[in-house]
A and B are shown apart, each in its own frame.
Chain A
């Protein structure tokens, strides 16, 4: 119980004050990462990993999450080295030669736009895949456009709110996403056949590596920290919570892949378009209160997709806002809405969509690995970029540093109680 008290984020009087800028606590940043990761990928993951790594797919999903954690720790380090700054801020700062602010921005633009493009296309793709799944499985007579439109509008409603609301929505929806997924994974084991998982550890190494790389891409979403890390808490143990944000989806995904392989076997799995949905169909509710759970599962999955979509949308808007130096992102969000809608309808069929999706994943992997690594090396070399005193950025940094210092020196409001 003491642990529970200690683990709870320390509330402070500042929470009551609207004039104090919102800071996301460590648990919230972990939740944000986890709920961004869990999204459309969960429906196809068993098939894609099994096609490369065969019966060891679930191991590659597990190792993939470890890779994702490594990449995330790069980003986490980078973000913590530049407290109070988002990707836009520190990329500019790191790339500014001497006092030439403009050149810094110009040099940073390719990196930033690469991310913006990735997130924009991601939003559209997620919306489209979501629409495809809903129209092919549950609402067969509803047009695809309507599903995509309603989903995007709901995400738009979220994006119109402050960042505080986004963080809280993620935090509150995460258990509603994770628990049903875990239940599905566990309860479908009732029709599992252990034979399907054998032989274990007999691997085609090349395929296994490919499968692992592929499953690493299914954990994409953690790179949102590049933009949302700016409002993250500096004290405590941020890295631990960030990694936990990948570990939770990692376990859930591995469990789903495990049960997928155990229930269907590799050969059958490769033929299923939405293997997780098929997995849901095999589960039976005790007492037969409900037959055929896939509609109910899809209803829960709406929340999972929504958090992914909403966060990508929000991240894109925030990034563009910071690049343009605007005060609020509302107009950007409004302008992006038709763009997302139009882009999402570009793929002619599901086959092309899957193709695009895998290319998008590779693009994302590049964004989430090479760019942070490059920036981190730069950051180490330039030592926070302190050699180039940048009036605006320095002021920013000072403020952030004092905030962090204040947060550290602030005596905890809830000291451990002696039993």
Chain B
């Protein structure tokens, strides 16, 4: 195989030496790989031929020939893809500059392009390259490639500019208090959104290309000296090992680098909110941005962060804690309420207060099904309604929701298919699952609801408990990039528990969560008393606390 590839390579080299051989039967991958190492030719015609050979006869590909500068006899060619570039930049700064504004152009055979790069083409970003593969890739990325006859190089100029969405409020994670900005589909905008919030010189943006055909830009962002290098290394290693044709959304990366694909629980968090991404960066995690999607990934993730919302930290701690507790209750409801209904009504009616049990029995008297069928019927209907309202065009969605919930529910009760209590249970379950700030975590709970309902129908509370234990075993087994999924609950770290079920005041959380093993641990320092206020006593204290904090 290697021998074969080498011969192909040498054949490509031969082709470059103008000895055209028939290599049209090449495999795509070989063609690409071979292309990487082919250097450009001095002859403009030869370069054009090669580009046309590789890029084919696409109508959106523009080859613009023109005469270079006042010296006249140099032919030049700009290659770009129509639609990915800004026409004004090409007109004004590439072609106009190239045609008219040339002064002091050196003698005929010198490096015209490197001169142009320094003095001739006033474009902010440019590169002087000699490999054909780089030129092709740059063209496909939306840059322009400038070739000049007699120079075996190309000048890559950044003339990118395509239609993109403006920064708008994220649709999935809305908050009452907090920034309204959300990530967009463009990688550069997204990295800028993070940079704007974090003017840390140690912020690192490491960019990779993933996908053999899509060549998607993927940026791995972390803070050097804070994020544990082992985690960064692992993330980079896993992303580099991806061998797939295309990355269409960050979900592809998530699925290809996560620790375990069979679990219902998300092992990485996705977010549309730059403030959330930054707050996780500051906890010692890594943010992965993929070009073409507003959803960025946060790794590693632990279970508890899926019911946290940025708002918890923006409001005062008592409010944050209360909201967090409400979220936990509502997520527990989303998971357990239908199965508790089944268990209570068919196995443990003695637990329900006696008056209520009479009312429930009266409500159920017309229902022909056992409670498990009743619950399944309603839950499945609710899931269908929910899915339908996502697909429906904007204005109709809520209407269908109301029709579904009110009309169908009421009619079902009157028709005697379900009991009124069941309608309440289903409504509470659905509302509870919407209270989760993370869609991927909510969907895990929605999924697990059904097996627990079956367990409740088989063994009542005992069955629910057994299945919950199995889920706990599973959660204890899970790890995300080496971090146990249930930390800081287990392994228990009391210092990290300050920001888990409750949210303590910011000045209590003096250190970053230890579970992500950050290199820099101090997050908050007590304010120093100002000079005017201090007394003799506090002088001593101050000199004490002036000692440098032990870091790492």
Footprint of B on A, CB under 8 Å?
A: 1, 4-5, 7-9, 11-13, 15-18, 25, 27-28, 134, 138-139, 142, 147, 150-151, 154, 157-158, 161-162, 165, 168-169, 171-173, 288-293, 295-296, 298-300, 302-303, 306, 413-415, 417-419
Contacts and interface: CB of A to CB of B under 8 A. Distances in A.
Contacts of B459: 139, 142, 147, 150
17 contacts: A4-B495, A5-B495, A8-B493, A11-B493, A17-B482, A18-B482, A134-B462, A138-B461, A147-B459, A161-B476, A168-B476, A169-B469, A171-B492, A172-B490, A295-B351, A299-B464, A414-B521
Contact of B486 (A5, A27, A172): A172
Interface stretch (B31-39, B90-98, B309-317, B509-517): B509-517
A118 B521 CA distance: 48
B487 to A, nearest CB: 9
Contacts of B29: none
A291 B489 CA distance: 32
A27 B473 contact: no
B544 interface: yes
Contacts of A413: 514, 517, 521, 552
Contacts of B545: 418-419
B466 A16 contact: no
B491 A9 contact: yes
Given A17-B482, A168-B486, A169-B473, A11 B515 contact: yes
Nearest to A173: B472
Given A139-B460, A168-B484, A419-B526, A8 B517 contact: no
A295 B314 CA distance: 42
A151 B476 contact: no
A8 B494 contact: yes
Contacts of A418: 544-545, 547
B243 interface: no
B483 interface: yes
A291 B353 contact: yes
B333 to A, nearest CB: 14
Chain B CB count within 10 A is highest, among A4, A7, A299, for: A299
A137 to B, nearest CB: 11
Contacts of B463: 150
B526 A291 contact: no
A255 B490 CA distance: 27
A415 B472 CA distance: 32
Given A139-B462, A171-B490, A296-B461, A414 B472 contact: no
A17 B482 CA distance: 6
Contact of A8 (B234, B350, B490, B495): B495
Contact of B466 (A8, A150, A296): A150
A302 B353 contact: no
A138 B464 CA distance: 14
B87 interface: no
A352 to B, nearest CB: 24
Contact of B511 (A157, A162, A291, A414): A414
Nearest to A150: B466
Interface in B432-474: 459-466, 469-470, 472-473
B369 interface: no
A135 B231 CA distance: 50
Contacts of A16: 228, 230-231, 234, 481-483, 517
Given A8-B495, A303-B465, A417 B511 contact: yes
Interface string B498-541: 00000000001011001101000110001000000000000000
Nearest to A151: B466
A154 B469 contact: yes
B347 interface: yes
A302 B476 contact: no
A25 B230 contact: no
A152 to B, nearest CB: 11
Contact of B549 (A25, A28, A417): A417
Given A11-B517, A138-B347, A169-B469, 16 more contacts: A5-B494, A8-B496, A9-B491, A13-B517, A16-B228, A16-B481, A142-B459, A150-B459, A165-B477, A169-B490, A289-B353, A298-B461, A298-B462, A299-B461, A302-B466, A417-B510
B511 A5 contact: yes
A168 B303 CA distance: 14
A150 B454 CA distance: 14
B93 to A, nearest CB: 49
A28 B486 CA distance: 14
B473 A165 contact: yes
A39 B492 CA distance: 22
B358 to A, nearest CB: 13
Nearest to B514: A11
Nearest to B546: A418
Interface in B126-177: none
A143 B549 CA distance: 64
Contacts of A417: 510-511, 522, 549
A119 B494 CA distance: 33
Contacts of B464: 299
A165 B481 CA distance: 16
Contact of A292 (B351, B460, B462): B351
Nearest to B549: A417
A15 B482 contact: yes
A179 to B, nearest CB: 13
Contacts of B348: 138, 292, 295
Nearest to A288: B353
B544 A139 contact: no
B16 to A, nearest CB: 47
A150 B464 CA distance: 12
Interface string B395-426: 00000000000000000000000000000000
Contacts of B508: 1
A154 B459 CA distance: 14
B57 interface: no
Contacts of A288: 353
Given A13-B517, A415-B550, A417-B511, A291 B462 contact: no
Contacts of B544: 418
Contact of B462 (A12, A138, A161, A289): A138
B388 interface: no
Nearest to B498: A4
B352 A290 contact: yes
A306 B494 CA distance: 26
Contacts of B526: 419
Nearest to A171: B490
A317 B289 CA distance: 46
B172 to A, nearest CB: 30
B472 A172 contact: yes
Nearest to B489: A172
B493 A299 contact: no
Nearest to A24: B491
Contacts of B472: 169, 172-173
B466 A7 contact: no
A374 B459 CA distance: 46
Contacts of A13: 228, 230, 517
A8 B353 contact: no
Contacts of A295: 347-348, 350-351, 460-461
A1 B507 CA distance: 12
Nearest to A417: B510
B228 A158 contact: no
Identify which of A7, A16, A138, A303 gathers the most chain B CB atoms within 10 Å of its CB.
A16
B354 interface: yes
A15 B351 contact: no
A417 B452 CA distance: 46
Contact of B514 (A8, A158, A293, A299): A8
A15 B494 CA distance: 17
A414 B549 contact: no
Contacts of A138: 347-348, 460-462
Given A8-B495, A168-B486, A154 B470 contact: yes
Identify which of B352, B461, B491, B510 gathers the most chain A CB atoms within 10 Å of its CB: B491
Nearest to B350: A292
